[in-house]
Structure 1
């Protein structure tokens, strides 16, 4: 992920205002906070959860996401969580719930408004974000009472039982109630609004997963917006949140516009999602982005058929 985190590839006017703050004991229980450099009134908060098949990932790899959200006026929190094989389901979820408790108790000190909380995630992180929203037991365990105003989930798996692939078996195979691990089985009318986006050519989590989940949400009366990015694969939607690849698809402003609809900026105007023009020339150090993304996509096993 290094090419996307070089200074020239990230949004200016943003700051990392917390670096490696512990939300619990242990090396995987740390988080970073990003915010606009110019801050006035308390800002809405996005808690972003990265993916990696529940077995890889690091918050430092996603600073381009933190700065992207900060460039749109949010305070963004990116927390590490324990990974397989050190832990199995549900420990990676309880870690994120624990980090949310830190947000509840501390984010006001960094310019964030805990009453305007939004969850977001990519891939396995999209699963984690959706599960935190749908199953209140994880939040209740840590006394998290902040309302979740909306969720944005990119390239996420929501209905992948039975567990057919090794990566998923490792993470979920020991769950005593496998059906209870599936977001599609946990939907109620009280679920927060959800923005679900995916590439139409995703070989890791096929777009039908998003379609089926969205249909079940709508059947329960939950507000859901779907976005299908034609011809893109698994990693491209999250990469396109960053400044360097944003011209490929307007995923960042699609997400921000959705959050705006549900109270991110009560006194502001809705965002118009427009992908910028392609840059005339990328810096030599970040030019081979297609090759990098192909390698990233090749790292993952399929999660569901």
Structure 2
């Protein structure tokens, strides 16, 4: 009987997490799920700009020394460029850190307060902060892996693929991971895309697929087969374009998984049925391996 009660509780929490996420934030889900042991938050609301949303949190393995020089994951949250907050992603930050990465989770400004390219420039500013300061907190500024979910995957893709955003710092991006990301979504046919990109004169500059080139860092593209928010073909198209350009890319589709579950599977209670955390860890370790 206790076993069935626990199963029902887990399913309820997953359902609540999905509801809260769709409403904007993962606060409730994040509060309820247990966090990975061996990890801790070592920085909170650190400014990388002057705006209220230009703040980041840092997670690390427990007891990390300042000279450890571990590879760094920068996780960019989703939310349709108009919602989401780093405060709902402690479970993700600590999951990555428990696997041996210093993990940075930034916020970025949202539409309709701002429009493209401001949220991408915020991502670039956060990465610039990491390059300058993360060594003081045990991270290696020359081994950065960008990870993004949904709209965050779109931002991560542009940072990794469009050399205009990071300049020389792009060389520090060892690889990037897109979880259920939109990369080729013209025309703008949803309220979210029109709100975020409708003021853009040259819409081609908003599409990551247009920037695939031979000098792009390796990519891991993850998607769920049942994603109805961002269709799986988005990752398929970008995979094809990257392969044609000669870029190292891996494409994984999880059968029966939707848009939110691929990301909530980073948590301790729900990761057993989706391998997204293991796949990201394996990729990040490989691309960040020191010579």
Instruction: For 1:38 and 1:198, locate their aligned partners in 2 and report how far apart those are by CA, in whole Å.
Output: 34
Matched, 1:55 2:121: no
TM-score normalised over the length of structure 1: 0.84
5 Å matches for 1:134-213? 134-140=161-167, 144=169, 147-213=172-238
Instruction: For 1:6 and 1:58, locate their aligned partners in 2 and report how far apart those are by CA, in whole Å.
Output: 14
* Partner in structure 2 of residue 296 of structure 1: none
Provide the secondary structure at the position in 2 that maps to 1:144: helix
Q: 1:207/1:145 Cα in 2 relative to 1: closer, same or farther (>3 Å)?
A: closer
Instruction: For 1:125 and 1:25, locate their aligned partners in 2 and report how far apart those are by CA, in whole Å.
Output: 21
- 1:3 shift after superposition: 4.3
Instruction: For 2:170 and 2:256, locate their aligned partners in 1 and report how far apart those are by CA, in whole Å.
Output: 40
Instruction: For 1:154 and 1:73, locate their aligned partners in 2 and report how far apart those are by CA, in whole Å.
Output: 20
Instruction: For 1:159 and 1:25, locate their aligned partners in 2 and report how far apart those are by CA, in whole Å.
Output: 31
* Partner in structure 1 of residue 9 of structure 2: none
Matched, 1:91 2:118: yes
For the Cα contact (< 8 Å) 1:117–1:146, is it kept in 2? no
Matched, 1:69 2:110: no
Higher relative helix content: 2
* Partner in structure 1 of residue 105 of structure 2: 78
* Residue-by-residue CA offset, 1:99-147 (whole Å, 9 max, x unaligned): 111101100111100011110000000000010011121113xx73551
For the Cα contact (< 8 Å) 2:175–2:219, is it kept in 1? yes
Matched, 1:110 2:137: yes
Instruction: For 1:14 and 1:178, locate their aligned partners in 2 and report how far apart those are by CA, in whole Å.
Output: 41
Q: 1:233/1:72 Cα in 2 relative to 1: closer, same or farther (>3 Å)?
A: same
Instruction: For 1:221 and 1:249, locate their aligned partners in 2 and report how far apart those are by CA, in whole Å.
Output: 29
Matched, 1:257 2:282: yes
For the Cα contact (< 8 Å) 2:43–2:59, is it kept in 1? yes
Question: Higher mean Cα deviation, 177-186 or 125-134?
Answer: 177-186
For the Cα contact (< 8 Å) 1:18–1:33, is it kept in 2? yes
* Partner in structure 2 of residue 241 of structure 1: 266
* Partner in structure 1 of residue 16 of structure 2: none
Q: 1:162/1:239 Cα in 2 relative to 1: closer, same or farther (>3 Å)?
A: same
* RMSD of Structure 2 on Structure 1 (CA): 1.4
- 1:2 shift after superposition: 3.3
Question: Higher mean Cα deviation, 145-154 or 101-110?
Answer: 145-154
Q: Structure 2: which 5+ residue stretches go unaligned?
A: 1-25
Instruction: For 1:28 and 1:34, locate their aligned partners in 2 and report how far apart those are by CA, in whole Å.
Output: 18
- Equivalent pairs, count: 264
Instruction: For 2:100 and 2:286, locate their aligned partners in 1 and report how far apart those are by CA, in whole Å.
Output: 15
Provide the secondary structure at the position in 2 that maps to 1:160: coil
Structure 1 segments, 4+ long, off by >4 Å, are none
- 1:6 shift after superposition: 3.0
Instruction: For 1:138 and 1:117, locate their aligned partners in 2 and report how far apart those are by CA, in whole Å.
Output: 15
- 1:223 shift after superposition: 0.6
TM-score normalised over the length of structure 2: 0.88
Q: Structure 1: which 5+ residue stretches go unaligned?
A: 268-305
Matched, 1:125 2:152: yes
